[in-house]
Structure 1
Protein backbone atom coordinates (compact mmCIF):
# COMPACT_ATOMS: atom_id res chain seq x y z
CA UNK A 1 0.00 0.00 0.00
CA UNK A 2 1.45 3.40 -0.96
CA UNK A 3 2.43 5.70 1.86
CA UNK A 4 0.46 8.96 2.07
CA UNK A 5 3.58 11.17 2.11
CA UNK A 6 4.79 9.59 -1.15
CA UNK A 7 1.42 10.15 -2.80
CA UNK A 8 1.37 13.76 -1.55
CA UNK A 9 4.86 14.31 -2.95
CA UNK A 10 3.87 12.74 -6.28
CA UNK A 11 0.77 14.95 -6.48
CA UNK A 12 2.79 18.11 -5.76
CA UNK A 13 5.47 17.11 -8.26
CA UNK A 14 2.89 16.36 -10.94
CA UNK A 15 1.18 19.71 -10.41
CA UNK A 16 4.49 21.62 -10.48
CA UNK A 17 5.79 19.81 -13.58
CA UNK A 18 2.54 20.14 -15.53
CA UNK A 19 2.15 23.81 -14.58
CA UNK A 20 5.74 24.65 -15.56
CA UNK A 21 5.38 22.78 -18.84
CA UNK A 22 2.01 24.39 -19.60
CA UNK A 23 3.31 27.89 -18.89
CA UNK A 24 6.40 27.32 -21.03
CA UNK A 25 4.22 26.07 -23.88
CA UNK A 26 1.86 29.03 -23.48
CA UNK A 27 4.78 31.50 -23.57
CA UNK A 28 6.17 29.70 -26.61
CA UNK A 29 9.54 28.56 -25.27
CA UNK A 30 10.97 26.16 -27.90
CA UNK A 31 12.11 23.37 -25.56
CA UNK A 32 9.42 23.70 -22.92
CA UNK A 33 10.10 20.22 -21.53
CA UNK A 34 13.12 21.74 -19.69
CA UNK A 35 10.71 23.75 -17.53
CA UNK A 36 9.00 20.53 -16.46
CA UNK A 37 12.34 18.81 -15.85
CA UNK A 38 13.52 21.74 -13.73
CA UNK A 39 10.31 21.62 -11.70
CA UNK A 40 10.77 17.90 -11.03
CA UNK A 41 14.39 18.44 -9.95
CA UNK A 42 13.52 21.28 -7.59
CA UNK A 43 10.66 19.63 -5.71
CA UNK A 44 11.73 19.20 -2.09
CA UNK A 45 10.00 18.15 1.10
CA UNK A 46 10.15 21.62 2.62
CA UNK A 47 10.03 25.19 1.34
CA UNK A 48 13.31 26.02 3.11
CA UNK A 49 15.20 23.25 1.34
CA UNK A 50 13.67 24.15 -2.02
CA UNK A 51 14.48 27.85 -1.62
CA UNK A 52 18.13 27.40 -0.65
CA UNK A 53 18.88 25.05 -3.54
CA UNK A 54 16.83 27.10 -5.99
CA UNK A 55 19.04 30.15 -5.49
CA UNK A 56 22.08 28.04 -6.35
CA UNK A 57 20.36 26.57 -9.39
CA UNK A 58 19.35 29.99 -10.71
CA UNK A 59 22.81 31.47 -10.17
CA UNK A 60 24.47 28.46 -11.78
CA UNK A 61 22.13 28.60 -14.76
CA UNK A 62 22.76 32.32 -15.24
CA UNK A 63 26.53 31.83 -15.00
CA UNK A 64 26.43 28.96 -17.52
CA UNK A 65 24.35 31.02 -19.96
CA UNK A 66 26.58 34.10 -19.79
CA UNK A 67 29.87 32.21 -19.96
CA UNK A 68 28.67 29.89 -22.73
CA UNK A 69 27.11 32.60 -24.87
CA UNK A 70 30.16 34.87 -24.48
CA UNK A 71 32.51 32.02 -25.41
CA UNK A 72 30.54 30.99 -28.50
CA UNK A 73 30.05 34.61 -29.56
CA UNK A 74 33.79 35.28 -29.32
CA UNK A 75 35.31 31.98 -30.47
CA UNK A 76 32.58 29.76 -31.91
CA UNK A 77 31.88 26.21 -30.71
CA UNK A 78 34.86 25.07 -28.63
CA UNK A 79 37.11 22.11 -29.43
CA UNK A 80 36.63 19.19 -27.02
CA UNK A 81 39.85 19.91 -25.06
CA UNK A 82 39.02 23.61 -24.72
CA UNK A 83 35.48 22.72 -23.64
CA UNK A 84 36.90 20.47 -20.89
CA UNK A 85 39.30 23.19 -19.76
CA UNK A 86 36.51 25.76 -19.54
CA UNK A 87 34.42 23.29 -17.51
CA UNK A 88 37.29 23.05 -15.01
CA UNK A 89 37.65 26.83 -14.95
CA UNK A 90 33.89 27.15 -14.46
CA UNK A 91 34.19 24.96 -11.36
CA UNK A 92 36.93 27.25 -10.06
CA UNK A 93 34.80 30.32 -10.75
CA UNK A 94 31.86 28.78 -8.90
CA UNK A 95 34.17 28.08 -5.98
CA UNK A 96 35.42 31.68 -5.98
CA UNK A 97 31.81 32.86 -5.97
CA UNK A 98 31.19 30.54 -3.00
CA UNK A 99 28.57 28.60 -4.89
CA UNK A 100 27.63 25.13 -3.75
CA UNK A 101 28.21 22.02 -5.86
CA UNK A 102 24.60 22.14 -7.04
CA UNK A 103 25.22 25.64 -8.45
CA UNK A 104 28.24 24.33 -10.36
CA UNK A 105 26.19 21.38 -11.61
CA UNK A 106 23.57 23.69 -13.10
CA UNK A 107 26.26 26.05 -14.44
CA UNK A 108 27.99 23.12 -16.14
CA UNK A 109 24.80 21.66 -17.62
CA UNK A 110 23.68 25.06 -18.88
CA UNK A 111 27.13 25.90 -20.24
CA UNK A 112 27.16 22.56 -22.08
CA UNK A 113 23.71 23.11 -23.58
CA UNK A 114 24.62 26.61 -24.71
CA UNK A 115 28.01 25.82 -26.25
CA UNK A 116 27.47 22.34 -27.65
CA UNK A 117 23.83 22.43 -28.71
CA UNK A 118 23.32 26.04 -29.69
CA UNK A 119 23.63 27.35 -33.21
CA UNK A 120 26.37 30.00 -32.89
CA UNK A 121 24.04 32.49 -34.62
CA UNK A 122 21.33 31.85 -32.01
CA UNK A 123 23.46 31.33 -28.90
CA UNK A 124 22.06 34.25 -26.90
CA UNK A 125 18.48 33.18 -27.67
CA UNK A 126 19.25 29.61 -26.61
CA UNK A 127 20.78 30.96 -23.40
CA UNK A 128 17.79 33.19 -22.71
CA UNK A 129 15.36 30.33 -23.32
CA UNK A 130 17.37 28.02 -21.09
CA UNK A 131 17.32 30.58 -18.27
CA UNK A 132 13.56 31.10 -18.71
CA UNK A 133 12.91 27.33 -18.73
CA UNK A 134 14.84 26.76 -15.52
CA UNK A 135 13.38 29.87 -13.86
CA UNK A 136 9.85 28.79 -14.72
CA UNK A 137 10.42 25.30 -13.34
CA UNK A 138 11.99 26.63 -10.15
CA UNK A 139 9.34 29.29 -9.57
CA UNK A 140 6.49 26.87 -10.17
CA UNK A 141 8.00 24.34 -7.77
CA UNK A 142 8.50 26.97 -5.07
CA UNK A 143 4.89 28.12 -5.39
CA UNK A 144 3.53 24.57 -5.29
CA UNK A 145 5.76 23.75 -2.29
CA UNK A 146 4.67 26.91 -0.44
CA UNK A 147 0.97 26.33 -1.13
CA UNK A 148 1.15 22.65 -0.15
CA UNK A 149 3.01 23.52 3.08
CA UNK A 150 0.31 26.05 3.89
CA UNK A 151 -2.46 23.54 3.18
CA UNK A 152 -0.70 20.95 5.35
CA UNK A 153 -0.51 23.42 8.26
CA UNK A 154 -4.15 24.41 7.87
CA UNK A 155 -5.34 20.79 7.86
CA UNK A 156 -3.29 19.83 10.92
Structure 2
Protein backbone atom coordinates (compact mmCIF):
# COMPACT_ATOMS: atom_id res chain seq x y z
CA UNK A 1 0.00 0.00 0.00
CA UNK A 2 1.49 3.29 -1.11
CA UNK A 3 1.87 5.90 1.54
CA UNK A 4 0.33 9.30 0.92
CA UNK A 5 2.79 12.08 0.15
CA UNK A 6 3.56 14.37 3.05
CA UNK A 7 1.53 17.57 3.24
CA UNK A 8 3.58 20.53 2.02
CA UNK A 9 3.86 23.31 4.57
CA UNK A 10 4.54 26.95 3.69
CA UNK A 11 7.80 28.44 4.84
CA UNK A 12 5.89 31.11 6.69
CA UNK A 13 2.32 32.22 7.23
CA UNK A 14 0.82 35.66 7.59
CA UNK A 15 1.04 35.59 11.38
CA UNK A 16 4.81 34.93 11.17
CA UNK A 17 5.27 37.84 8.78
CA UNK A 18 3.16 40.05 11.05
CA UNK A 19 5.27 39.06 14.06
CA UNK A 20 8.51 39.94 12.24
CA UNK A 21 7.11 43.23 10.95
CA UNK A 22 5.62 44.41 14.25
CA UNK A 23 8.63 43.30 16.29
CA UNK A 24 11.01 45.06 13.93
CA UNK A 25 9.03 48.30 13.93
CA UNK A 26 8.67 48.11 17.72
CA UNK A 27 12.39 47.63 18.17
CA UNK A 28 13.13 50.59 15.90
CA UNK A 29 10.70 52.79 17.82
CA UNK A 30 12.17 51.75 21.17
CA UNK A 31 15.78 52.26 20.13
CA UNK A 32 15.08 55.66 18.58
CA UNK A 33 13.24 56.84 21.69
CA UNK A 34 15.05 58.93 24.29
CA UNK A 35 13.66 56.70 27.04
CA UNK A 36 16.21 53.98 27.94
CA UNK A 37 15.74 50.22 27.67
CA UNK A 38 13.55 50.54 24.56
CA UNK A 39 14.52 47.06 23.40
CA UNK A 40 11.99 45.62 25.87
CA UNK A 41 9.22 46.61 23.49
CA UNK A 42 10.56 44.10 20.95
CA UNK A 43 10.92 41.42 23.60
CA UNK A 44 7.30 41.97 24.61
CA UNK A 45 5.83 41.83 21.11
CA UNK A 46 7.85 38.69 20.34
CA UNK A 47 6.44 37.05 23.49
CA UNK A 48 2.75 38.00 23.32
CA UNK A 49 1.93 38.49 19.63
CA UNK A 50 0.28 35.27 18.51
CA UNK A 51 -2.06 34.21 15.75
CA UNK A 52 -5.28 35.32 17.43
CA UNK A 53 -6.50 38.19 19.56
CA UNK A 54 -7.67 35.90 22.35
CA UNK A 55 -4.30 34.18 22.74
CA UNK A 56 -2.46 37.51 22.56
CA UNK A 57 -4.72 38.98 25.24
CA UNK A 58 -4.18 35.99 27.52
CA UNK A 59 -0.40 36.15 27.11
CA UNK A 60 -0.43 39.93 27.58
CA UNK A 61 -2.25 39.69 30.90
CA UNK A 62 0.18 37.01 32.07
CA UNK A 63 3.21 39.06 31.06
CA UNK A 64 1.92 42.32 32.54
CA UNK A 65 1.04 40.71 35.88
CA UNK A 66 4.36 38.86 35.97
CA UNK A 67 6.33 42.03 35.19
CA UNK A 68 4.53 44.03 37.85
CA UNK A 69 4.97 41.27 40.40
CA UNK A 70 8.69 40.94 39.59
CA UNK A 71 9.36 44.67 39.93
CA UNK A 72 7.54 44.89 43.27
CA UNK A 73 9.31 41.83 44.68
CA UNK A 74 12.81 42.92 43.60
CA UNK A 75 12.30 46.39 45.07
CA UNK A 76 11.00 45.00 48.37
CA UNK A 77 13.71 42.35 48.84
CA UNK A 78 16.71 44.29 47.56
CA UNK A 79 15.91 47.76 48.85
CA UNK A 80 13.50 47.25 51.70
CA UNK A 81 14.76 44.16 53.52
CA UNK A 82 18.46 44.33 52.59
CA UNK A 83 19.10 40.65 53.28
CA UNK A 84 22.28 38.87 52.15
CA UNK A 85 22.25 38.07 48.46
CA UNK A 86 21.94 34.25 48.68
CA UNK A 87 19.13 34.39 51.24
CA UNK A 88 17.33 37.37 49.72
CA UNK A 89 17.32 36.19 46.13
CA UNK A 90 16.26 32.70 47.19
CA UNK A 91 13.31 34.01 49.19
CA UNK A 92 12.44 36.43 46.38
CA UNK A 93 12.29 33.60 43.85
CA UNK A 94 10.20 31.53 46.26
CA UNK A 95 7.82 34.48 46.60
CA UNK A 96 7.58 34.73 42.83
CA UNK A 97 6.58 31.08 42.54
CA UNK A 98 4.12 31.33 45.44
CA UNK A 99 2.41 34.50 44.21
CA UNK A 100 2.46 33.27 40.62
CA UNK A 101 0.61 30.13 41.65
CA UNK A 102 -1.88 32.16 43.68
CA UNK A 103 -2.59 34.42 40.69
CA UNK A 104 -2.88 31.46 38.34
CA UNK A 105 0.07 32.55 36.19
CA UNK A 106 1.27 29.91 33.77
CA UNK A 107 4.04 31.85 32.01
CA UNK A 108 4.00 35.20 33.80
CA UNK A 109 5.95 33.93 36.82
CA UNK A 110 8.92 33.19 34.53
CA UNK A 111 8.98 36.85 33.52
CA UNK A 112 8.82 37.83 37.19
CA UNK A 113 11.76 35.55 38.02
CA UNK A 114 13.78 37.02 35.17
CA UNK A 115 13.10 40.54 36.44
CA UNK A 116 14.15 39.59 39.99
CA UNK A 117 17.47 38.12 38.81
CA UNK A 118 18.24 40.87 36.28
CA UNK A 119 17.21 43.67 38.60
CA UNK A 120 19.21 42.36 41.52
CA UNK A 121 22.37 41.27 39.72
CA UNK A 122 22.63 43.49 36.63
CA UNK A 123 20.71 46.66 37.47
CA UNK A 124 21.29 46.80 41.21
CA UNK A 125 22.31 50.46 41.08
CA UNK A 126 19.14 51.54 39.26
CA UNK A 127 16.71 48.70 39.79
CA UNK A 128 13.74 50.93 40.66
CA UNK A 129 14.14 53.11 37.58
CA UNK A 130 14.94 50.10 35.43
CA UNK A 131 11.95 48.15 36.75
CA UNK A 132 9.33 50.81 36.10
CA UNK A 133 10.85 51.71 32.75
CA UNK A 134 10.60 48.08 31.76
CA UNK A 135 6.96 48.08 32.87
CA UNK A 136 6.34 51.09 30.63
CA UNK A 137 7.87 49.44 27.56
CA UNK A 138 6.05 46.20 28.35
CA UNK A 139 2.70 48.03 28.38
CA UNK A 140 3.55 49.74 25.06
CA UNK A 141 4.52 46.42 23.52
CA UNK A 142 1.27 44.82 24.70
CA UNK A 143 -0.83 47.63 23.23
CA UNK A 144 0.99 47.37 19.89
CA UNK A 145 0.55 43.58 19.86
CA UNK A 146 -3.18 43.72 20.59
CA UNK A 147 -3.62 46.40 17.94
CA UNK A 148 -1.72 44.29 15.41
CA UNK A 149 -3.88 41.21 16.00
CA UNK A 150 -6.96 43.27 15.18
CA UNK A 151 -5.79 45.36 12.25
CA UNK A 152 -2.70 43.75 10.70
CA UNK A 153 -3.78 40.57 8.88
CA UNK A 154 -6.25 39.62 11.62
CA UNK A 155 -7.60 36.14 12.14
CA UNK A 156 -10.58 35.24 9.94
CA UNK A 157 -12.06 32.70 12.37
CA UNK A 158 -15.07 34.77 13.49
CA UNK A 159 -16.17 35.98 10.02
CA UNK A 160 -15.65 32.44 8.69
CA UNK A 161 -17.88 31.08 11.44
CA UNK A 162 -20.61 33.58 10.55
CA UNK A 163 -20.40 32.55 6.90
CA UNK A 164 -20.65 28.90 7.97
CA UNK A 165 -23.77 29.68 9.98
CA UNK A 166 -25.21 31.50 6.95
CA UNK A 167 -24.44 28.52 4.69
CA UNK A 168 -26.15 26.19 7.17
CA UNK A 169 -29.21 28.45 7.21
CA UNK A 170 -29.25 28.29 3.40
CA UNK A 171 -29.35 24.49 3.62
CA UNK A 172 -32.26 24.69 6.08
CA UNK A 173 -34.04 27.09 3.72
CA UNK A 174 -33.59 24.68 0.83
CA UNK A 175 -35.24 21.87 2.78
CA UNK A 176 -38.12 24.10 3.89
CA UNK A 177 -38.60 25.13 0.24
CA UNK A 178 -39.02 21.47 -0.68
CA UNK A 179 -41.74 21.20 1.97
CA UNK A 180 -43.45 24.27 0.52
CA UNK A 181 -43.42 22.65 -2.90
CA UNK A 182 -45.00 19.49 -1.48
CA UNK A 183 -47.75 21.46 0.25
CA UNK A 184 -48.62 23.43 -2.88
CA UNK A 185 -48.32 20.63 -5.45
CA UNK A 186 -51.53 19.11 -6.80
CA UNK A 187 -50.01 15.61 -6.63
CA UNK A 188 -47.19 15.83 -4.05
CA UNK A 189 -44.72 12.99 -3.60
CA UNK A 190 -42.85 11.90 -0.50
CA UNK A 191 -39.09 11.68 -0.38
CA UNK A 192 -37.73 8.16 -0.28
CA UNK A 193 -36.12 6.83 2.88
CA UNK A 194 -32.68 7.04 1.24
CA UNK A 195 -33.21 10.68 0.24
CA UNK A 196 -34.39 11.61 3.73
CA UNK A 197 -31.33 10.01 5.28
CA UNK A 198 -28.99 11.74 2.84
CA UNK A 199 -30.49 15.17 3.51
CA UNK A 200 -30.29 14.63 7.26
CA UNK A 201 -26.69 13.41 6.94
CA UNK A 202 -25.78 16.55 4.96
CA UNK A 203 -27.23 18.80 7.66
CA UNK A 204 -25.42 16.90 10.41
CA UNK A 205 -22.13 17.24 8.52
CA UNK A 206 -22.67 20.98 8.20
CA UNK A 207 -23.54 21.55 11.85
CA UNK A 208 -20.54 19.49 12.97
CA UNK A 209 -18.30 21.66 10.77
CA UNK A 210 -19.84 24.75 12.38
CA UNK A 211 -19.11 23.41 15.86
CA UNK A 212 -15.47 22.68 14.99
CA UNK A 213 -14.99 26.20 13.63
CA UNK A 214 -16.82 27.65 16.63
CA UNK A 215 -14.23 26.14 18.97
CA UNK A 216 -11.50 27.91 16.99
CA UNK A 217 -13.37 31.21 16.85
CA UNK A 218 -14.06 31.15 20.57
CA UNK A 219 -10.34 31.61 21.20
CA UNK A 220 -10.73 35.04 19.60
CA UNK A 221 -13.06 36.13 22.39
CA UNK A 222 -10.22 36.38 24.89
CA UNK A 223 -10.48 35.74 28.61
CA UNK A 224 -13.84 34.36 29.84
CA UNK A 225 -15.33 33.85 26.35
CA UNK A 226 -18.60 32.68 27.92
CA UNK A 227 -19.19 36.27 29.04
CA UNK A 228 -18.72 37.70 25.53
CA UNK A 229 -21.89 38.73 23.61
CA UNK A 230 -20.76 36.72 20.60
CA UNK A 231 -20.82 33.54 22.66
CA UNK A 232 -24.50 34.17 23.31
CA UNK A 233 -25.13 34.76 19.61
CA UNK A 234 -23.50 31.48 18.65
CA UNK A 235 -25.35 29.57 21.37
CA UNK A 236 -28.69 30.98 20.21
CA UNK A 237 -27.90 30.22 16.57
CA UNK A 238 -26.92 26.64 17.36
CA UNK A 239 -30.09 26.16 19.43
CA UNK A 240 -32.22 27.63 16.64
CA UNK A 241 -30.69 25.50 13.89
CA UNK A 242 -30.80 22.31 15.96
CA UNK A 243 -34.52 22.78 16.62
CA UNK A 244 -35.24 23.63 12.99
CA UNK A 245 -33.48 20.39 12.03
CA UNK A 246 -35.87 18.54 14.35
CA UNK A 247 -38.82 20.28 12.68
CA UNK A 248 -37.54 19.20 9.26
CA UNK A 249 -37.08 15.62 10.46
CA UNK A 250 -40.69 15.59 11.61
CA UNK A 251 -42.01 17.06 8.36
CA UNK A 252 -40.02 14.64 6.22
CA UNK A 253 -41.35 11.70 8.21
CA UNK A 254 -45.00 12.56 7.45
CA UNK A 255 -46.81 11.09 4.42
CA UNK A 256 -47.26 13.31 1.36
CA UNK A 257 -50.19 15.71 1.77
CA UNK A 258 -53.38 14.98 -0.15
CA UNK A 259 -55.11 18.00 -1.66
CA UNK A 260 -58.69 16.96 -0.99
CA UNK A 261 -61.28 17.89 0.12
CA UNK A 262 -60.97 21.63 -0.73
CA UNK A 263 -60.87 22.59 2.97
CA UNK A 264 -57.72 20.46 3.43
CA UNK A 265 -56.13 22.02 0.35
CA UNK A 266 -56.78 25.46 1.86
CA UNK A 267 -55.11 24.35 5.11
CA UNK A 268 -52.05 23.10 3.23
CA UNK A 269 -51.74 26.40 1.38
CA UNK A 270 -51.90 28.26 4.70
CA UNK A 271 -49.13 26.03 6.04
CA UNK A 272 -47.08 26.75 2.93
CA UNK A 273 -47.58 30.48 3.47
CA UNK A 274 -46.24 30.21 7.04
CA UNK A 275 -43.21 28.33 5.76
CA UNK A 276 -42.64 30.99 3.09
CA UNK A 277 -42.57 33.72 5.73
CA UNK A 278 -40.22 31.61 7.84
CA UNK A 279 -37.93 31.19 4.82
CA UNK A 280 -37.97 34.96 4.27
CA UNK A 281 -36.93 35.61 7.87
CA UNK A 282 -34.17 32.99 7.72
CA UNK A 283 -32.91 34.44 4.43
CA UNK A 284 -32.67 37.87 6.01
CA UNK A 285 -30.80 36.43 9.02
CA UNK A 286 -28.32 34.66 6.72
CA UNK A 287 -27.74 37.92 4.84
CA UNK A 288 -27.02 39.74 8.10
CA UNK A 289 -24.46 37.13 9.10
CA UNK A 290 -22.67 37.61 5.79
CA UNK A 291 -22.33 41.36 6.18
CA UNK A 292 -18.69 41.90 7.04
CA UNK A 293 -18.31 45.67 6.76
CA UNK A 294 -16.62 46.89 9.97
CA UNK A 295 -17.52 50.49 9.26
CA UNK A 296 -21.24 50.18 8.59
CA UNK A 297 -22.26 46.93 10.26
CA UNK A 298 -20.60 46.39 13.62
CA UNK A 299 -23.61 44.40 14.92
CA UNK A 300 -26.44 42.33 13.56
CA UNK A 301 -29.36 44.62 12.71
CA UNK A 302 -31.94 42.30 14.24
CA UNK A 303 -34.32 45.21 14.75
CA UNK A 304 -35.05 44.96 11.04
CA UNK A 305 -36.25 41.38 11.56
CA UNK A 306 -39.01 42.35 13.99
CA UNK A 307 -41.65 43.10 11.32
CA UNK A 308 -40.93 39.75 9.66
CA UNK A 309 -41.09 38.03 13.04
CA UNK A 310 -44.44 39.64 13.91
CA UNK A 311 -45.84 38.74 10.51
CA UNK A 312 -44.66 35.13 10.87
CA UNK A 313 -46.14 34.81 14.37
CA UNK A 314 -49.50 36.25 13.20
CA UNK A 315 -49.63 33.86 10.23
CA UNK A 316 -48.82 30.88 12.46
CA UNK A 317 -51.55 31.85 14.93
CA UNK A 318 -54.05 32.29 12.12
CA UNK A 319 -53.12 28.91 10.65
CA UNK A 320 -53.65 27.23 14.02
CA UNK A 321 -56.96 29.02 14.57
CA UNK A 322 -58.26 28.01 11.14
CA UNK A 323 -57.28 24.40 11.76
CA UNK A 324 -59.01 24.35 15.13
CA UNK A 325 -62.17 25.82 13.59
CA UNK A 326 -62.24 23.25 10.81
CA UNK A 327 -61.48 20.15 12.90
CA UNK A 328 -64.77 18.36 13.50
CA UNK A 329 -66.60 20.47 10.94
CA UNK A 330 -68.84 19.01 8.28
CA UNK A 331 -66.32 19.92 5.56
CA UNK A 332 -63.78 17.52 7.10
CA UNK A 333 -66.21 14.82 8.21
CA UNK A 334 -65.04 12.46 5.45
CA UNK A 335 -61.35 12.74 6.37
CA UNK A 336 -60.08 9.59 8.17
CA UNK A 337 -58.91 10.04 11.75
CA UNK A 338 -55.36 8.88 11.00
CA UNK A 339 -55.01 11.38 8.19
CA UNK A 340 -56.46 14.16 10.31
CA UNK A 341 -53.93 13.36 12.99
CA UNK A 342 -51.13 13.74 10.43
CA UNK A 343 -52.53 17.11 9.34
CA UNK A 344 -52.60 18.34 12.94
CA UNK A 345 -49.05 17.06 13.48
CA UNK A 346 -47.77 18.88 10.38
CA UNK A 347 -49.43 22.11 11.49
CA UNK A 348 -47.96 21.74 14.98
CA UNK A 349 -44.45 21.23 13.59
CA UNK A 350 -44.73 24.33 11.39
CA UNK A 351 -46.05 26.37 14.30
CA UNK A 352 -43.16 25.11 16.46
CA UNK A 353 -40.64 26.27 13.84
CA UNK A 354 -42.17 29.75 13.91
CA UNK A 355 -42.12 29.88 17.71
CA UNK A 356 -38.47 28.75 17.82
CA UNK A 357 -37.49 31.69 15.62
CA UNK A 358 -39.54 34.06 17.77
CA UNK A 359 -37.91 32.81 20.98
CA UNK A 360 -34.29 32.89 19.73
CA UNK A 361 -34.26 36.36 18.18
CA UNK A 362 -34.19 38.28 21.51
CA UNK A 363 -31.09 36.34 22.58
CA UNK A 364 -29.32 37.21 19.32
CA UNK A 365 -30.22 40.88 19.72
CA UNK A 366 -27.87 41.20 22.72
CA UNK A 367 -24.77 40.34 20.69
CA UNK A 368 -22.27 42.45 18.74
CA UNK A 369 -20.27 40.24 16.36
CA UNK A 370 -16.79 41.17 15.23
CA UNK A 371 -17.38 41.55 11.52
CA UNK A 372 -14.01 42.54 10.17
CA UNK A 373 -13.59 42.46 6.43
CA UNK A 374 -11.00 40.04 5.14
- Structure exhibiting the larger radius of gyration computed from Cα positions: 2
Instruction: Name the counterpart of 1:154.
Output: 373
- Equivalences for 1:29-40 in 2 at 5 Å? 29-40=35-46
**Structure 1: 4+ residue segments shifted above 3 A:** 75-78, 149-153
Instruction: Name the counterpart of 2:261.
Output: none
Contact persistence 1:65–1:128 (CA under 8 A): yes
**Against the structure 1 CA distance between its residues 19 and 85, is the aligned structure 2 distance closer, same or farther, given a 3 Å change threshold?**
same
Query: Is 1:127 aligned to residue 131 of structure 2?
Result: yes
Contact persistence 1:73–1:123 (CA under 8 A): no
SS of the aligned residue for 2:107 comes to helix
The separation in 2 between residues aligned to 1:147 and 1:118, in whole angstroms, is 37
Q: Which runs of 5+ in 2 are unaligned?
A: 1-7, 157-371
Please report how far the alpha carbon of residue 87 of structure 1 lies from its aligned counterpart in structure 2 after TM superposition.
0.4
Contact persistence 2:45–2:144 (CA under 8 A): yes
Correspondent of 1:3 among 1, 10, 19 = 10
Bigger shift: 38-47 or 108-117? 108-117
Instruction: Name the counterpart of 1:111.
Output: 116
Instruction: Name the counterpart of 2:336.
Output: none
Contact persistence 1:34–1:134 (CA under 8 A): yes
Please report how far the alpha carbon of residue 151 of structure 1 lies from its aligned counterpart in structure 2 after TM superposition.
7.8
Please report how far the alpha carbon of residue 8 of structure 1 lies from its aligned counterpart in structure 2 after TM superposition.
1.0
Instruction: Name the counterpart of 1:59.
Output: 65
Please report how far the alpha carbon of residue 86 of structure 1 lies from its aligned counterpart in structure 2 after TM superposition.
1.7
Please report how far the alpha carbon of residue 81 of structure 1 lies from its aligned counterpart in structure 2 after TM superposition.
4.2
Give the length in aligned residue pairs: 152
- Equivalences for 1:11-26 in 2 at 5 Å? 11-26=17-32
Deviation digits for residues 33-74 of structure 1 (CA, Å, limit 9, x no counterpart) = 221121111121100011012111101101101111222222
Bigger shift: 75-84 or 48-57? 75-84
Contact persistence 1:42–1:138 (CA under 8 A): yes
Query: Is 1:136 aligned to residue 140 of structure 2?
Result: yes
Q: Which runs of 5+ in 1 are unaligned?
A: none
Correspondent of 1:91 among 97, 113, 129 = 97
